[in-house]
Structure 1
Amino acid sequence: MDIESLAPVVDSILEAAETRGGGGDRLSVSPHSFPDAVEAAAADGRVPVIAEIKPTSPTTTGERTEDSVVLAEQMVEGGATALSVLTEPSHFGGSPEALDRVREAVEVPVLRKDFILREEQLDTVAADMVLLIARFLNDLDRMVDAARERGFQVLVETHTATEVEAAIEAGADIVGVNNRDLTKLEVDLETFEEVAPTVPEDVLLVAESGIGSQRDVERMQAAGADALLVGSAIMDGDVTANTRRLVTTEGHDT
């Protein structure tokens, strides 16, 4: 685990994650296919967007207090291809219970977004896909295997070409490139543009963080993104309208 020079709040998040256990019994899930959902959205003329239910965040102000299921249904109404649900409680206001309820309520794939550090933490709650952050896992290949053994699809998050290499060596077939630098919490869309060419063409590529306008969407797609993970730009305001604005390929804003 590379934890040198992390932003203090990220250190705090990791410390909290270290203390959280797993859910007990080993999970076995039958996931909705995320690659199939991405293909279907593109065929339907929609930008494949993973809309994120994020009640609060260390990098934003305010808090959304609506029921997670209501937010999820609004995102799907707006055209979201998949949903991401925060289950980290201390810094993001999420919970495994919220994810469980959302997954029961919608038919699209649901990603569990959390800082998963140990195998037993995979057994906290069923989801269609789990996030594993390459930077924080020295045993990434084992964690990818452990997640797949439970039936999860795996989104491996990276930030550098070196982390992409580690993800591919671990067998990742869905890779995210996070535009947010966890050392300073700064966002730069050039990160994706620089790192994306190192991802093999047969890997499903997700652009994460900092995507707020249709211009950003076009920029990420031009750089090779197959799908986009969007949180704050959707959660800030009318969730349905914000989702629809980003998934629509006509009437682009600036």
Structure 2
Amino acid sequence: MDANGEELAPAVRSILSAARDRTGGEERVSVEARSVPAAFAAAEADGRVPVIAEVKPTSPTTDGRRDDDPVDLARAMVDGGAAALSVLTEPEHFGGSPASLERIRAAVDVPVLRKDFILTEAQLDVVESDVVLLIARFVDDLPALVAAARERGFQPLVEVHTRAELDRATSAGADLIGINNRDLARLEVDLDTFESLAPSVPDDVTLIAESGIASVADVRRMREAGADALLIGSAIMDGDVTANVRRLTSA
């Protein structure tokens, strides 16, 4: 069960079990982060919808695996107009690695999000990135982990799915919040999740819509509901990533 007392999907239980066993790095990380709000503003000024494109070789909710060089995929996404990138570093269930993130960040000039199931402060010290994902549902002491991330120079993106999690994120001082349309207890997606929570997000927060965004219509729907940016994975990874990003950022 999670912190909310809900039974988790077997895939999520497996991911969390693996995450609890992973250690941190040997040295404390210090990052000079590329600004996410600045990257979003630059995309807007260029007439593009701010999109965080996700380099995701595979996942428990997709079929198959994509074995392209992650750096080639990342560059293709930036060529298509991605304002930032999300890179999976979870190895066992998503095919990611810290080494891939390190290579990608060296190859592009946009902010890079480390997407993983980070549960402890030590797990922050694995690889440099501009942003780190902290999932409110799974973090015991969210204010402490947000503070630890900032002390290292990271921009913490706090992910929420419920009003209670949103309240925890704002109480922890999060100024970059992602509303995940996917319920991690059941792995079901509902875009209504973003629409129901977005009005409660403080105006000074940069708000990102996550999961289930597959079409231009979905992009427009999330933007109209208040999304400053969108995190999109499967809809970009399926096919020509440059063309997919260009299509979705033109919405």
SS of equivalent to 2:53: strand
CA distance in 1: counterparts of 2:20 and 2:182, whole angstroms: 22
CA distance in 2: counterparts of 1:109 and 1:183, whole angstroms: 29
Q: CA deviation at 1:23?
A: 1.1
CA distance in 1: counterparts of 2:192 and 2:225, whole angstroms: 9
CA distance in 1: counterparts of 2:195 and 2:185, whole angstroms: 19
Query: Counterpart in 1 of 2:131?
Result: 129
Q: Pick from 191, 195, 204: which aligns with 1:189?
A: 191
Query: Counterpart in 1 of 2:159?
Result: 157
**Equivalent runs, 1:55-134 vs 2, <5 Å:** 55-134=57-136
Query: Counterpart in 2 of 1:14?
Result: 16
Coordinate RMSD, CA, aligned: 0.7
Query: Counterpart in 2 of 1:172?
Result: 174
Query: Counterpart in 2 of 1:214?
Result: 216
CA distance in 1: counterparts of 2:76 and 2:88, whole angstroms: 17
CA distance in 1: counterparts of 2:116 and 2:25, whole angstroms: 14
Query: Counterpart in 1 of 2:238?
Result: 236
SS of equivalent to 2:99: helix
Q: Pick from 33, 36, 51: which aligns with 2:35?
A: 33
- In structure 2, give the amino acid aligned to 1:107: D
Query: Counterpart in 1 of 2:145?
Result: 143
Aligned residues: 249
Query: Counterpart in 2 of 1:252?
Result: none
In structure 1, stretches of 5+ residues that fail to align are 250-254
Q: CA deviation at 1:24?
A: 1.0
- In structure 1, give the amino acid aligned to 2:210: E
SS of equivalent to 1:115: coil
- In structure 1, give the amino acid aligned to 2:73: L
CA distance in 1: counterparts of 2:185 and 2:203, whole angstroms: 29
- In structure 1, give the amino acid aligned to 2:89: T
SS of equivalent to 1:46: coil
Q: CA deviation at 1:161?
A: 1.1
Deviation sequence 1:89-148 (CA, Å, 0-9, x none): 000000000000000000000000000000000000000000000000120000000000
- In structure 1, give the amino acid aligned to 2:71: V
Query: Counterpart in 2 of 1:49?
Result: 51
- In structure 2, give the amino acid aligned to 1:25: E
Q: CA deviation at 1:4?
A: 2.7
- In structure 2, give the amino acid aligned to 1:36: A
CA distance in 2: counterparts of 1:84 and 1:23, whole angstroms: 20
TM (norm. structure 2) is: 0.98
- In structure 2, give the amino acid aligned to 1:125: V
CA distance in 2: counterparts of 1:22 and 1:49, whole angstroms: 29
Query: Counterpart in 2 of 1:23?
Result: 25
Deviating above 3 A after TM superposition, structure 1's stretches of 4 or more consecutive aligned residues are none
